[in-house]
Amino acid sequence: MTADARRRVRGVVLLATRNANKAREIRAIYAHLHLDIITLNDRPEVGELPERGITYAENAASKAAAAAAATGLVAIADDSGIEIDALAGAPGPHSRRFLGDEATDDERNRHILALLADVPDDRRTARYRAAVAVASPGRAPRVFEGLCEGKVARAPRGRRGFGYDPVFVATQDGRTMAELSFEEKNRISHRARALRAAEPYLLWVIAAAAGEERHAPGANTRTGAPGTPAFSQPDTDGWDESSSGGRR
């Protein structure tokens, strides 16, 4: 889609979240699209969305599909987590519920550090992974993935960000995600990479809903690391992934 076409695309997009920090990040990353981005706080009639999957992609897809069906809007949902190699990839998709729904971010971070207390620096490798799903009424959701490689710090540092940001070192200079500026984080984060990968398809879905376009260039379903698609389904909705290389 050309720059002129992007400027012509307008629409309301529902973020399937009530998390204010997450909504702020997504609005900033998509600010150049000039979309009317609302959240579930603006649609109180929508109840809790299902997270019944065992993968990030399944959880993001189920939430986006449910939000689109309930509201008739184009919906975006994400699921993300931290994967720590010394913990065999845990907490992974269970990151948000690690230690239970009532645990605070600080409690989860301190528990992670306690589990890694005897792990040397060269074995503290970890990554943030995000899956972003785009859904609209009558269309199956499509999921796009982003990674941010790093390691676990020895102690929490920084007051920005949320979740595991104070213990996740994502930069070569040793700063944690919580020590980065808002703009720096949104350049390198797993969520930003997944959202940028999803952007062409999101614009196409909005334009298609308005009857403006039949085809649009494709987007990757994984960004930040090589691998297989995060999620796939038959190409039955008119979306043409082939013109920019398709999935990788």
Both tokens of residue 237?
A: 């909705």
Q: Is the pLDDT of residue 114 over 50?
A: yes
Cis peptide, bond prior to residue 217, ω within 30 of zero: no
Mean pLDDT score, 42-68: 90
The CA distance from 13 to 73, in Å, is 6
Mean pLDDT score, 40-49: 89
Both tokens of residue 223?
A: 């960004």
DSSP 89-147: T-BGGGGGGTT-TT--HHHHHHHHHHHTTT--GGG-EEEEEEEEEEEETTEEEEEEEEE
List residues with catalytic annotation: 79
Give the predicted TM-score (pTM) of the model: 0.83
pLDDT band (50, 70, 90) for residue 42: very high
Residue given tokens 């995600």 in the structure block? 177
Residue given tokens 């997450």 in the structure block? 22
DSSP 139-170: EEEEEEEEEEEEEE-SS---SSS-TTGGGEE-
Q: What mean pLDDT is reported for the chain? A: 84
Distance linking the first and last C-alpha atoms of the chain: 19
Per-residue pLDDT at 74: 96
Per-residue pLDDT at 50: 72
**Model confidence pLDDT, tens digit, residues 207-229:** 988 775 444 444 444 444 333 33
240/39: higher pLDDT: 39
Q: Which domains does the chain have, with CATH numbers?
A: 3-225 (3.90.950.10)
User: Which of 11-15, 130-134, 206-210, 233-237 shows the lowest mean pLDDT across its residues?
Assistant: 233-237
pLDDT band (50, 70, 90) for residue 232: very low
**Model confidence pLDDT, tens digit, residues 172-191:** 899 999 999 999 999 999 99
The CA distance from 123 to 110, in Å, is 18
Whether 113 contacts 152, CB under 8 Å: yes
Q: How many helices (H) and strands (E) does the chain have?
A: 6, 7
pLDDT band (50, 70, 90) for residue 161: confident
Q: Is the pLDDT of residue 93 over 60?
A: yes
Per-residue pLDDT at 8: 44
